[in-house]
Amino acid sequence: FDQALEYFLLDTPHTTSNTSIKVKVKWHPPPKDRYKVNIDGAFNEENLHGGISGVIRNNNGEWMLGYFTKCQSISPIHAELLAFRQALQTIIKGNFTPCEIKTDATEVIRFLEENYPTYNVLIFKCRCLMEKAMKQGEIRMKHNFREGNMVAHKLAKEALHYPSYNISSYFAKPPNFALNVYCKDKYGCNSFRSCSLNACNILASLGNDNAL
């Protein structure tokens, strides 16, 4: 699963605005006195398993908290929304505000404003949690490419292998399976991907720092 909007934009026949460009991608630390919360959802279609995760870091890139949960899920976007809900619950409980929430799923950002019948109950719950969390401090919701979201991605994938459902595992420091990508983020390592100019413009409007 890759986000529907990004997939559509990247696969649209080339025009001038869709000329492919090479984009440098890295994890950007948040501004001083803010947290960055990267989230992700993974999905196993065969078993309808979802893996949801989050990692919270400060402006120095230092690990504050990481977590993952295995859950039942009906689709990739369902897993992404469950990851968003858990992130908001974690932010509220730990008072991790002000913060930026970063997701590689454009739908999660759009569904804060738009309705989608299949997930309306979950979307409404996320909106309520967002409103509650913002009473504690400012929250900005932004998009990032998968390459800039790899720690959360690793955690979500690992959750799929966890034996129990709906039991969250918390990490006070980077787990070994995510240590390599965490270090790459902390030290500002770059990766590259191709993206159409049109896609970059739209993703930049969703807060993607790497698409600017």
Q: Is 147 exposed, middle or buried (0-12, 13-18, 19+ CB in 10 A)?
A: buried
The domain that contains 88 carries what CATH number?
Answer: 3.30.420.10
At residue 15, does pLDDT exceed 90? Answer: no
Is 142 inside a domain boundary?
Answer: yes
**pLDDT tens digits, one per residue of 45-101:** 999 999 999 999 999 999 999 999 999 999 999 999 999 999 999 999 999 999 999
At residue 142, does pLDDT exceed 50? Answer: yes
pLDDT band at 14 (very low <50, low <70, confident <90, very high): very low
Is 191 inside a domain boundary?
Answer: no
Structural domain containing residue 95? 28-185
Q: Whose CA is closest to 143, among 19, 5, 1, 50? A: 5
Is 74 inside a domain boundary?
Answer: yes
Q: At what angle do helices 120-134 and 76-94 cross, to 10 degrees?
A: 20
Residue with tokens 């991608």: 25
Is 83 inside a domain boundary?
Answer: yes
Is 77 inside a domain boundary?
Answer: yes
Is 146 inside a domain boundary?
Answer: yes
Phi, psi of 64 (to 5 degrees): -100, -45
pLDDT at 80: 98
At residue 208, does pLDDT exceed 60? Answer: yes
Is 86 inside a domain boundary?
Answer: yes
How many domains does the chain contain in total?
1
Average pLDDT over residues 185-202: 95
Residue 63, strand partner residues: 57
At residue 130, does pLDDT exceed 50? Answer: yes
Is 118 inside a domain boundary?
Answer: yes
pLDDT at 117: 92
Distance CA 35, CA 38 (A): 10
Average pLDDT over residues 148-174: 98
